[in-house]
Copies of this chain bind each other. A is one copy, B any other.
Amino acid sequence: MNMSTANTARLLITCEDKPGIVQAVSSFLYHHGANITALDQYATEAQGGRYFMRVEFELDSLQSRKDGLLQTFESNVATRYNMHWRLALVSDVKKVGLLVSKVDHALLELLWRHSRGGLPCEITKVVSNHDTLRTAVENFGIPFEVVPVTKENKREAYAKIDELMQGNDVLVLARYMQILDEEFVKKWEMKVINIHHSFLPAFVGANPYKQAYEKGVKLIGATAHYVTADLDQGPIIEQDVERVNHDFTVEQLRELGQDVERNVLARAVKWHLEDRIIVDGNKTVVFQ
């Protein structure tokens, strides 16, 4: 991490849309000596709509001044606009836990991009309900743990996974073929990213490539989303598609689809790590 990165932070703000917010935030930063390097905002249309903002800035001695900054911003700016906000320092490298079953493509894409410096995070461990991918994961020098999940032990299994994943900032389901325990989902609200192998809301649930084959669609897709209690219904982060035609078998749809899945998941995880996403009800605001 170079000096510049060590002194870079992102401020994410949600509040009611009112005049003066940009002015208030940029003045605050300016008077503290910060240099704004990126600024994005978005307001929903309706009168009294919601307002979203992402500001990236550099500030000398950021780490030592962080606490003071947080306090002053809260009392001088955030309170006035009744903001829901957070400050993320680039130097606070996010910790990521991965969950996977037996299919490796989404997992390997993340491990590989991470090993090449393309994902700014620490991958702390991989937990699976099968031992299949142990060697593949351990080759990357990352701890691998197995927690079998059955109908009978579901509650205990997720208590175990929750314990193993403590300390992580975000979990990624890289084709983890289990419906999470409700309790677990609540604890990790908007902190679990899943890749679903269809263009949601088409083909919810099991075997989407088979569903796509039977429907005869001309494009297949993948969707990365935050996990909520409703299966495959959480806020969508990213989607993409590839063109197919009548002569694709289910197996060929799956093979091509895996390329879409890994790219879509990698982008979604990267945006999360770069603090580009604000959840807005059941939708996401993604500042690119």
A263 within 8 A of B: yes
Q: A108 to B104, Cβ gap below 8 A?
A: no
Is residue A151 contacting chain B, with contact meaning CB distance below 8 A? no
Q: In the complex the two chains form, what is the Cα distance from A288 to B43 in whole Å?
A: 15
Of residues A199, A238, A288, which shows the largest number of chain B Cβ atoms within 10 Å of its Cβ? A199
Contact A246 B216 (CB under 8 A): no
Q: A199-B219, A216-B282 are in contact. Are A30 and B19 (CB under 8 A)?
A: yes
Overall SS of chain A's interface: mixed
Q: Indicate whether A203 reaches chain B with its CB closer than 8 angstroms.
A: yes
Out of B39, B221, B282, which one reaches A39, CB within 8 Å? B39
> Restricting to A70-120, which residues have a CB under 8 Å from any CB of B?
104-105, 108, 112, 116, 118
Interface residues as binary, A260-284 with B (CB distance below 8 Å gives 1, 0 otherwise): 0001000000000000000010111
For residue A108, which residue of chain B has the nearest CB? B112
A76 to chain B, nearest CB (A): 14
Contact with B along A197-237 (1 / 0, CB 8 A): 00111110000000000011111010000000000000111
B23/A286 in contact, CB under 8 A: no
Query: With an 8 A cutoff between CB atoms, is A22 at the interface?
Result: yes
For residue A255, CB closer than 8 A to chain B, the reply is yes
Contact A217 B236 (CB under 8 A): yes
Question: Are A201 and B215 within 8 A (Cβ)?
Answer: yes
A64 CB–B CB distance under 8 Å: no
Q: Are A255 and B219 CB-contacts (below 8 A) given A23-B29, A41-B38?
A: no
Instruction: Collect the chain B residues with CB atoms within 8 Å of residue A22's CB.
Output: 22, 26, 30, 36, 39
A104 CB to nearest chain B CB (Å): 7
Query: Are the CB atoms of A217 and B246 closer together than 8 Å?
Result: no
- Indicate if the CB atoms of B219 and A239 lie closer than 8 Å: yes
Extra pairs beyond A22-B26, A45-B249, A199-B202 (19, CB < 8 Å): A20-B30, A22-B30, A23-B29, A26-B27, A37-B43, A38-B41, A39-B39, A39-B41, A40-B40, A104-B116, A105-B116, A108-B112, A218-B237, A219-B241, A241-B241, A245-B286, A245-B288, A246-B285, A246-B286
**A and B contact pairs by CB, cutoff 8 A, 16 listed:** A19-B36, A20-B30, A22-B36, A22-B39, A23-B30, A27-B27, A37-B43, A39-B41, A108-B112, A200-B202, A201-B202, A201-B203, A202-B202, A215-B283, A219-B239, A245-B286
Top 8 nearest A-B pairs (CB, nearest first) are: A216-B283, A23-B30, A202-B202, A23-B26, A22-B26, A19-B35, A218-B239, A246-B285
